[in-house]
């Protein structure tokens, strides 16, 4: 079956779409084991009685959809469960594992964690810690703390902390009065902590201040060290996505590993195995962010497909990324990062190529033309999401990305290179990091220059008008695609 620019629809496509749809459907209505068993039985019966190939495919899709629906319901029930909710309002001693980096606010420091015991009774639940401004325990530390267990705050100033944390499986905030480190976590979490520290130390060797903060923000998705004014500049200019780990990071890492393998003369299959290991290590270091999980699943699927001598399909691997994220947490469908990440990739798949063709007659170098096409495609598709999620739309994002994006591979390449050589040659790592500092300043300069334009970002009614115009433009582009 041919569907124009989308290519040929295969049974594998139906399978991943059904899995993702079933997982997402659990957010609307949850099903139990009996209902799921009945649905699977009907799907199998339809496949057997139908006899034709289409009936078999339809029955298999129904089974996968119902299975995804049941699993999504099971995962949501697990995420909603909170033994610690019975302790709300109580104070006591808790042992907590710090699972992520600190985020410094105006009045407090917040850290993600996993509580292991409360008043010496075993508990295993995700929590958020709130500390006074000052020193905070590092990621990976196990701390004993005096805490007060409180419920997250409700809606205030347009932000509903309770719902936001609930969708991450967090139902309690621990207000910390005092703490001390008693150890470090082990296992995969501990390995991820060590990898993160290695990337931080190596990529920023000799750097400090704003330069180091930008390198860490792009490499690890941690913007906590950036000044509030620079964060605002990145938001207004439409470049804030650069501070979130994206598929570009994963692609460059995997490509770099394959190039190194070729340079040292190793076989290609060993190179792909090393690329898989590098992707897994990077995911451990940066944490399970939607964009990096999507890119990691896609990159891993490409390498596995090559190793298995199967043709890769970008739509299939994109669907696998969505299904993997939803299988872990179906609530992620509400997450802005998930929505923006997949919307941007869909825009690149569908719109970037035709837009680039339309730019053929303009006096632009090929690389700039491709960058502009991708930026325009992403702007058309992500603007409604930005408006719905944040009430803001950057108007100059295309210009900002055209200026800053060419520097991104350079920054990431130097950052990874500095981290790799640092154990062998600290002086060479410092030189690479020094060069990277100038690249980081260039990206910051793009954000500040474009973010300073009065109409760089619009809100309220102006944002709604901008979204409406962009939707009209996207409809025109899609109509021309269908006509072509």
Mean pLDDT of the chain: 83
Q: Left if phi > 0, otherwise alpha if psi is -120 to 50, otherwise beta: which for 391? A: left
**What confidence tens digit (pLDDT) does each residue in 27-46 have?**
998 887 777 777 667 666 66
- Indicate if the pLDDT at residue 5 is higher than 50: no
- Indicate if the pLDDT at residue 58 is higher than 60: yes
Query: Would you state the pLDDT for residue 40?
Result: 66
Q: What is the average pLDDT across 457-465?
A: 77
Query: Would you state the pLDDT for residue 205?
Result: 85
**Distances in Å between the alpha carbon of 427 and those of 74, 198, 430, 453?**
52, 16, 5, 40
Domains and CATH numbers, the chain: 4-80 (no CATH), 83-185 (2.40.50.140), 197-483 (no CATH)
- Indicate if the pLDDT at residue 1 is higher than 60: no
Query: Would you state the pLDDT for residue 6?
Result: 44
- Indicate if the pLDDT at residue 309 is higher than 80: no
8 A C-beta contact, residue 220 and residue 196? yes
Terminal-to-terminal C-alpha distance of the chain: 18
Min mean pLDDT across 63-67, 212-216, 327-331, 352-356 is at 352-356
pLDDT band at 3 (very low <50, low <70, confident <90, very high): very low
Alpha helices by DSSP H, listed for 177-330, are: 187-203, 209-220, 228-237, 247-263, 268-286, 290-307, 314-328
Min mean pLDDT across 198-207, 353-362, 431-440 is at 353-362
Q: How far is CA 288 from the centre of its chain?
A: 7
In the block, tokens 């139906």 appear at 14
pLDDT band at 304 (very low <50, low <70, confident <90, very high): low
What phi, psi does 154 have (nearest 5°)? -85, -170
Q: Which of 3, 2, 5 is nearest to 480 (CA)?
A: 5
The C-alpha atoms of residue 266 and residue 286 are separated, in whole angstroms, by 28
Query: Would you state the pLDDT for residue 381?
Result: 84
Q: Which of 103, 93, 217, 114 is nearest to 161 (CA)?
A: 103
Q: What is the average pLDDT across 223-251?
A: 85
**Distances in Å between the alpha carbon of 199 and those of 118, 151, 224, 322?**
34, 35, 16, 27
Q: What is the average pLDDT across 156-172?
A: 87
pLDDT band at 346 (very low <50, low <70, confident <90, very high): confident
CB-based burial label for 386 (10 Å; 0-12, 13-18, 19+): buried
Query: Would you state the pLDDT for residue 311?
Result: 55
Query: Would you state the pLDDT for residue 447?
Result: 93
**What confidence tens digit (pLDDT) does each residue in 245-300 have?**
777 788 788 888 888 888 778 887 788 788 888 888 888 888 776 667 766 776 66
- Indicate if the pLDDT at residue 305 is higher than 70: no
pLDDT band at 160 (very low <50, low <70, confident <90, very high): confident
Query: Would you state the pLDDT for residue 276?
Result: 82
**More confident: 280 or 480:** 280
**What confidence tens digit (pLDDT) does each residue in 103-147 have?**
888 889 999 999 999 998 999 999 999 999 888 899 999 999 999
The C-alpha atoms of residue 200 and residue 202 are separated, in whole angstroms, by 6
Query: Would you state the pLDDT for residue 2?
Result: 38
**More confident: 412 or 293:** 412
- Say what the pTM is: 0.81
Query: Would you state the pLDDT for residue 42?
Result: 66
The b/e string for 158-175 (b: 16+ C-beta within 10 A; e otherwise) is eeebbeebbbebbbbbbb
- Indicate if the pLDDT at residue 400 is higher than 70: yes
Q: What is the average pLDDT across 320-338?
A: 87
pLDDT band at 478 (very low <50, low <70, confident <90, very high): low
CA angle 402, 407, 411 (to 5 degrees): 150
- Indicate if the pLDDT at residue 64 is higher than 60: yes
């Amino acid at each position: 079956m041919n569907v124009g620019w989308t290519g040929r629809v295969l049974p594998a496509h139906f399978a991943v779409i059904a899995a993702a749809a079933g997982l997402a459907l659990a957010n609307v209505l949850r099903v139990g084991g009996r209902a799921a068993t009945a649905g699977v039985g009907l799907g199998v019966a339809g496949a057997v009685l139908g006899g034709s190939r289409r009936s078999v495919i339809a029955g298999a899709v129904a089974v996968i959809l119902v299975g995804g629906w049941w699993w999504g319901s099971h995962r949501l029930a697990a995420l909603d469960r909170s033994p610690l909710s019975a302790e709300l309002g109580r104070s006591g001693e808790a042992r907590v594992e710090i699972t992520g980096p600190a985020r410094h606010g105006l009045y407090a420091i917040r850290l993600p964690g996993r509580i292991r015991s409360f008043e010496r009774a075993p508990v295993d639940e995700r929590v958020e810690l709130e500390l006074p401004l000052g020193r905070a325990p590092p990621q990976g530390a196990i701390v004993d703390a005096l805490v007060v267990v409180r419920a997250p705050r409700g809606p205030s100033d347009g932000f509903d902390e309770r719902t936001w944390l609930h969708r991450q499986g967090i139902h309690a905030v621990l207000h910390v009065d005092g703490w001390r480190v008693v150890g470090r976590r082990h296992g995969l979490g501990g390995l991820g902590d060590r990898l993160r520290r290695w990337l931080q130390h190596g990529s920023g060797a000799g750097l400090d201040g704003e330069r180091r903060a930008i390198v860490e923000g792009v490499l690890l998705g941690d913007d906590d060290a950036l000044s509030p004014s620079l964060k605002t500049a990145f938001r207004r200019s439409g470049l804030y996505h650069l501070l979130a780990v994206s598929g570009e990071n994963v692609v460059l890492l995997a490509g770099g590993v394959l190039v190194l393998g070729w340079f040292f003369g190793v076989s290609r299959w060993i190179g792909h195995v090393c690329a898989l290991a590098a992707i897994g290590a990077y995911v451990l270091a940066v944490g399970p962010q939607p964009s990096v999980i999507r890119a990691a699943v896609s990159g891993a699927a490409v390498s596995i497909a090559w190793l298995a001598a199967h043709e890769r399909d970008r739509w299939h691997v994109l669907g696998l990324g969505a299904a993997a994220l939803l299988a872990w947490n179906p609530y992620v469908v509400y997450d802005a990062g998930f929505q923006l990440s997949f919307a941007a990739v869909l825009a690149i798949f569908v719109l970037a190529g035709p837009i680039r063709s339309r730019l053929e007659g303009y006096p632009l170098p090929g690389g700039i033309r491709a960058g502009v096409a991708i930026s325009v495609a992403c702007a058309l598709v992500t603007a409604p999401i930005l408006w719905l999620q944040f009430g803001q739309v950057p108007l100059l994002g295309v210009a900002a990305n055209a200026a800053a994006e060419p520097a991104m591979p350079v920054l990431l390449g130097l950052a990874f290179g500095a981290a790799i050589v640092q154990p062998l040659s600290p002086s060479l790592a410092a030189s690479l990091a020094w060069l990277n500092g100038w690249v980081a300043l260039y990206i910051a300069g793009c954000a500040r220059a474009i973010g300073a334009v009065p109409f760089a970002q619009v809100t309220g009614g102006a944002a709604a008008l901008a979204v409406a115009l962009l939707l009209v433009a996207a409809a025109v582009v899609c109509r021309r695609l269908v006509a072509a």
